[in-house]
């Protein structure tokens, strides 16, 4: 079974508090785990390079 | 259109920089958070941290584009801040979104037995501090969070930051006006609305 992984840290998006959304620039799916959201760990879109949050 | 024309069009600010400055969107607070460091341009002599106006302009465009991915009624805008209430409501009414202004009743996004229960797909908050409850509930439901963030805000649980003065009357009017205008533009809708339509009466 393949887990969906966090875009920033590759952790599986299993626990509550995780989210998925389209990249604000290109629409590619961004996935953030609870820990990365909580600590405001940056994410970089693998498709267009957009850097969030 | 040549390549350079396109570039110029993309870089064109939504309003002239002077208008942003007149609205004070760049004026932060006397505190800076580590999270907001990348968006801070300088510190003024009187100790106020100043945001990069170009970054604000770019992010208004980015946030408008982002919110356009969602069905309008599923876009929830939240503000407990007094000066945010009028412009946020105007924004929601114009784009067909949902607004919660004033007190955010706990459970609104999590307690299905409440008469106020709603199920948004994305939430836009005016201030991560004042609108903490809305963020906490959005996190519980797993939906993304967009936030207007000032120099002093922490950005935990914020998925998309719109760096701006989120306290001033004119600044909040400007940001919500431009978000509205930009979202309508992306739908191909021309609007006669002006910033005055978003200004809270004093
Ligand atoms: Zn992560
Ligand atoms: Zn992207």
Measured between beta carbons, which residues in chain A are less than 8 angstroms from residue B122?
Answer: 21
Measured between beta carbons, which residues in chain B are less than 8 angstroms from residue A29?
Answer: none
Asked if B62 lies within 8 A of A38 by C-beta distance, the reply is no
Q: Are the CB atoms for B50 and B44 separated by under 8 Å? A: yes
Asked if A19 lies within 8 A of B161 by C-beta distance, the reply is no
pLDDT in tens, chain B (202 residues): 445 555 555 579 999 999 999 999 999 999 999 999 999 999 999 999 999 999 999 999 999 999 999 999 999 999 998 899 999 999 999 999 999 999 999 999 999 999 999 999 999 999 999 999 999 999 999 999 999 999 999 999 999 999 999 999 999 999 999 999 999 999 999 999 999 999 977 6
Domains in chain A: boundaries: 1-48
pTM for this entry? 0.94
Closest-approach residue (CA) in chain B for A35: B157
Distance CA B6, CA B177 (A): 25
- Write phi, then psi, for B132 (nearest 5 degrees): -55, -45
Contacts of B188 (CB under 8 A, 6+ apart): none
- All domains in chain B, ordered by first residue: 3-198 (3.40.50.10490)
Residue (of A4, A5, A8, A3) closest to A38 by Cα position: A8
Measured between beta carbons, which residues in chain B are less than 8 angstroms from residue A24?
Answer: 62-63, 65-66, 160
pLDDT for position B178: 98
Cα of A40 from ligand 1 centre, angstroms: 10
Distance CA B174, CA B17 (A): 12
Asked if A16 lies within 8 A of B35 by C-beta distance, the reply is no
Calculate how close chain A gets to B161, using CA atoms only, in Å.
6
Ligand 2 is an ion; residues with CB less than 5 A from it? A 23, 25-26, 28, 45, 47-48, 50
Q: Does A19 touch chain B (CB under 8 A)?
A: yes
Asked if A40 lies within 8 A of B155 by C-beta distance, the reply is yes
pLDDT tens by residue, A1-53: 567 999 999 999 988 899 999 999 999 999 999 999 999 999 999 999 999 99
pLDDT for position B1: 46
Q: What is the CA radius of gyration of chain A?
A: 10
B interface residues, A as partner, C-beta within 8 Å:
35, 62-63, 65-66, 69, 122, 139-140, 142-144, 154-161
Q: Are the CB atoms for B55 and B163 separated by under 8 Å? A: yes
Q: Which ligand number lies closest to the CA of residue A41?
A: 1
């Amino acid at each position: 079974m393949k887990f969906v992984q966090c875009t920033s840290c590759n952790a599986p998006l299993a626990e509550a508090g995780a989210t998925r959304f389209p990249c604000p620039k290109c629409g590619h799916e961004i996935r953030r785990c609870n820990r990365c959201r909580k600590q405001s760990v940056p994410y970089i879109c693998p498709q267009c390079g957009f850097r969030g949050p | 259109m040549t390549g350079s024309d396109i570039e110029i069009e993309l870089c064109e600010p939504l309003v002239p920089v002077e208008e942003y400055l007149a609205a004070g969107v760049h004026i932060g607070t006397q505190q800076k958070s580590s999270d907001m460091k990348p968006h801070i341009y300088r510190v003024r002599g009187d100790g106020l941290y100043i945001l990069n106006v170009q970054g604000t302009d770019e992010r208004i465009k980015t946030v408008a584009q982002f919110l356009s991915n969602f069905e309008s009624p599923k876009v929830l805008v939240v503000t407990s801040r007094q000066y945010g209430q009028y412009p946020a409501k105007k924004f929601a009414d114009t784009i067909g979104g949902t607004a919660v202004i004033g007190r955010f009743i706990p459970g609104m996004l999590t307690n299905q037995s409440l008469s106020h229960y709603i199920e948004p797909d994305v939430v836009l908050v005016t201030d991560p501090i004042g609108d903490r409850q809305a963020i906490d509930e959005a996190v519980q439901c797993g939906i993304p969070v967009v936030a207007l963030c000032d120099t002093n805000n922490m950005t935990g649980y914020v998925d998309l930051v719109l760096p701006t003065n989120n306290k001033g009357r004119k600044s909040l009017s400007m940001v919500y006006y431009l978000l509205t205008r930009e979202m309508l533009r992306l739908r191909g809708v021309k609007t006669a609305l002006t910033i005055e339509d978003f200004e809270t009466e004093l």
